[in-house]
Chain A
Amino acid sequence: MVTLNDYLLVSGLLFTLGFAGVLLRRNIIIIFMALELMLNAANLSLVAFSRFNGAEGLPNYNGQMLVFFIITVAAAEVAVGLAIIVALYRARQTTNVEDLNSLKF
């Protein structure tokens, strides 16, 4: 039988993958994709909690509402972030974060 802990473990592993991607990769677009993985891991645990803590034989829809809003905000964030990356590429001709160090102390 699948339990809540299984879903939370899978969600935690997905979050870890995104976390490791942000820390280890140097390509800014891949870092952006890893951020998406982390957002989706949060979504998975929210939906799991909503399903397992339901009342009157239905899931708890408040959790799914939060997931709906996260997906909307994430889509807007991707559009703005990619526009910034394009502007950055136009200015510097690179997507490698190690070459983008003019703000570094």
Chain B
Amino acid sequence: MSPILFWIFSALMLGFGAATIVNRNPVASALSLVVSFLGLAALFFSLDAYFIGVIQILVYAGAVMVLFLFIIMLLDLKAEQRRQLNLPVLIGGTGLALLFVAQIVLVLHSFPAGKKPLIPLTAPLNDASNIGMTLFSNYNLPFQVIGVLILVASIGVVVLSKRELK
């Protein structure tokens, strides 16, 4: 992928990510998050991770965001009322975030292994088949455990959603 495309998709992802946390209306936030996830999926494609990119679109931009929108509309959330600004929190939060960015830039500056460019793959890439082979040979036990986790999560959600929580 050419550098121009990389920066376009990065800007798309970061721009809509910022829109997610700036918007006052929760529905607008959720829709910005969808576009941000689509930009991230494009970055995954640029890294030759086609299976992960497709999963990202299906699971995140599809299922998870539908769940978010469903809950927002179920609770009928309106745009937030403008509250009195909590100045210490605002300054502290922004300061911590800027500190974190400065730290990342410093660390990456002194990381020689990060300077290598993206070399094209030489072997033929059968992405889904390779992932399937790895998943069902080296990672078979974690895969089964994940199945149990999802079962527990779905039962937990049903219990939580019952009318009486007494």
Is the beta-carbon distance between B146 and A69 smaller than 8 angstroms? yes
Let me know if A24 and B21 touch, CB within 8 A. yes
Interface of A is mostly: helix
Residues in B neighbouring A3, C-beta threshold 8 A: 114-118
Partner of A80, one of B55, B139, B153: B153
Residues of A in contact, count (CB < 8 Å): 73
Q: Mark A30-70, 1 if CB is under 8 A from B, else 0.
A: 10111011001001100110111010111101101101110
**Is there an interface contact between B134 and A61, defined as CB atoms closer than 8 Å?**
yes
B: residues with CB less than 8 A from A are: 1, 3, 6, 10, 13-14, 17-18, 20-21, 26, 29-30, 33, 36-37, 40, 43-44, 46-49, 51-52, 55-56, 59-60, 63-64, 67-68, 71-72, 74-75, 77, 80, 83, 89-90, 92-94, 96-97, 100-101, 104-105, 108, 111, 113-118, 121-123, 125, 130-131, 134-135, 138-139, 142, 146, 149-150, 153-154, 156-157, 160-161, 165
